[in-house]
């Protein structure tokens, strides 16, 4: 992935949004969501304790900690995603598939 367009959010923004995320995790909305046990990305089933909060638009990229931007994610998917957006993840996957096909030729 190219980092040339990545402009990190301010420290103040990150601190504020991480605090909001902690509050959101303690709410009934989040507990119901993780109680379903489904990872947003891979759609596999997990114990609620194995799911983490993923920000679709990462905090580091200016994303907010709100119900529209936070989804449950297994630790593997969340780690793999890092601070990428969904579009960047899709591009990475396309590039990996393209490389794999070239390697087969």
Q: What is the DSSP letter of 9?
A: P
> Would you state the structure tokens that stand for residue 14, as one six-digit string?
């990150």
| Structural domain spans, the chain | 11-104
Question: Per-block average pLDDT, block size 10, for the chain (105 residues)?
Answer: 68 96 96 96 96 95 96 95 87 84 76
Q: Which residue has the tokens 């194995």?
A: 50
- Give SS3 for 102: helix
Query: What is d(CA 83, CA 6) in angstroms, rounded to the nearest whole number?
Result: 9
Q: Would you tell me which CATH number, out of the four given (3.40.50.10490, 1.10.287.130, 1.10.30.50, 3.90.230.10), belongs to the domain 11-104?
A: 1.10.30.50
pLDDT for 103 equals: 80
pLDDT of residue 52: 96
The predicted pLDDT at position 16 comes to: 97
Predicted pLDDT of residue 90: 85
Which pLDDT belongs to residue 5? Answer: 64
């Amino acid at each position: 992935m190219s980092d040339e367009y990545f402009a990190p959010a301010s420290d103040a923004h990150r601190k504020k949004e991480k605090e909001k995320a902690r509050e959101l995790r303690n709410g009934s909305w989040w507990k119901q969501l993780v109680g379903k046990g489904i990872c947003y990305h891979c759609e596999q089933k997990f114990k609620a304790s194995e799911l983490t909060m993923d920000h679709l638009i990462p905090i580091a990229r200016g994303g907010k900690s709100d119900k529209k931007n936070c989804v449950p994610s297994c630790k593997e998917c969340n780690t793999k995603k890092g601070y990428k957006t969904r579009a960047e993840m899709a591009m990475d996957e396309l590039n990996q598939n393209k490389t794999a096909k070239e390697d087969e030729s």
